[in-house]
Amino acid sequence: MQSAFPVLVRIIILGPPSSGKGTLASVLAKEHGVPHISTGDILRGEVDRRTELGQKAASHMSKGKLVPDDLVIRKIESRLSQEDCARGFILDGYPRTVGQAVALDKIAAPDVVLHIDVTEEEIIRRATGRRVCKTCGAIFHVEFSPPKTADVCDICGSKLAIREDDTEPTVRKRLGVYREMTAPLIERYGDMLVSIDGNGTPDETLERARSALRDVGRNA
């Protein structure tokens, strides 16, 4: 389905780790007919393929730290220069620092920044209960969407794992990094930013996001 508001195609989703950025971004990307670009997914792909970037990024990621700006900026600039981004994109997890935001403004300033607001308590609950299947990519949650058999993937039968950066100390560390490095962007984007409550279910957050984007589209 194409967007009813074709001007709004460069969308940034900003929010703390486990705020639901990825889920929201993938639905909005389909609705707006633009690619969903997640720097977390791109970097995990590089780590799995053991590329030069992946080897440099891995130690930062497993400690809950940010991958250095120069590496991430170079990677995202090359991604955004691909043809499928000509009509726009939904960025999930980028920018995460003021330096990244400045770099982005030079090549493709966003039309709107959607900020998902979630309490830290809720984030810890979500992240530490997440279980992933490293074989087929399925994601479960011990509380919200448990697999039929504990720790076994419903889809392919593989053993489920906890993502290395989802342990409680690492989640707390990532939250600290978010507060220090990424939250300042909320002020930086000013009027371009719309905050939505992300403490509810994924469907509730999606509805709030759609409605916020409609409002911005109407006032554009």
Residues at the site binding ligand ADP, with contacts judged by CB under 6 A: 17-18, 21, 39-40, 43, 60-61, 64-67, 72, 93-94, 96, 100, 165, 174
- Name the catalytic one among 44, 75, 126, 130: 130
Instruction: Compare residues 9 and 43 and give the one whose CB is closer to ligand ADP.
Output: 43
180: DSSP letter: I
Instruction: Compare residues 17 and 88 and give the one whose CB is closer to ligand ADP.
Output: 17
Q: Least distance from C-beta 96 to ligand ADP, angstroms?
A: 4
Residue 212: closest CA among 130, 80, 116, 121: 116
87 a catalytic residue: no
Q: Least distance from C-beta 147 to ligand ADP, angstroms?
A: 20
Q: Least distance from C-beta 57 to ligand ADP, angstroms?
A: 7
Count of positions (residues) in the chain: 220
Q: Tell me the C-alpha distance between 110 and 53, whole Å.
A: 26
Element (H, E) at 100: helix 98-108
Q: How far is CA 45 from the centre of its chain?
A: 15
Q: Tell me the C-alpha distance between 154 and 140, whole Å.
A: 9
Instruction: Compare residues 66 and 80 and give the one whose CB is closer to ligand ADP.
Output: 66
130 a catalytic residue: yes
Question: Where do we find the tokens 């691909």?
Answer: 82
Q: Which two tokens stand for residue 60?
A: 């930062």
Tell me if 51 sits within 8 A of 57, measured CB to CB.
Answer: no
Instruction: Compare residues 91 and 153 and give the one whose CB is closer to ligand ADP.
Output: 91
- Name the catalytic one among 10, 44, 96, 126: 96
Q: Least distance from C-beta 33 to ligand ADP, angstroms?
A: 23
Residue 206 CA: distances (Å) to CA of 37, 98, 197, 199, 216: 18, 27, 10, 11, 15
50 a catalytic residue: no
Q: Which residue is nearest to ligand ADP (CB)?
A: 40
- Name the catalytic one among 75, 126, 174, 208: 174
Q: Least distance from C-beta 148 to ligand ADP, angstroms?
A: 25
Instruction: Compare residues 76 and 206 and give the one whose CB is closer to ligand ADP.
Output: 76
Q: Tell me the C-alpha distance between 146 and 140, whole Å.
A: 6
Catalytic residues: 21, 96, 130, 163, 174
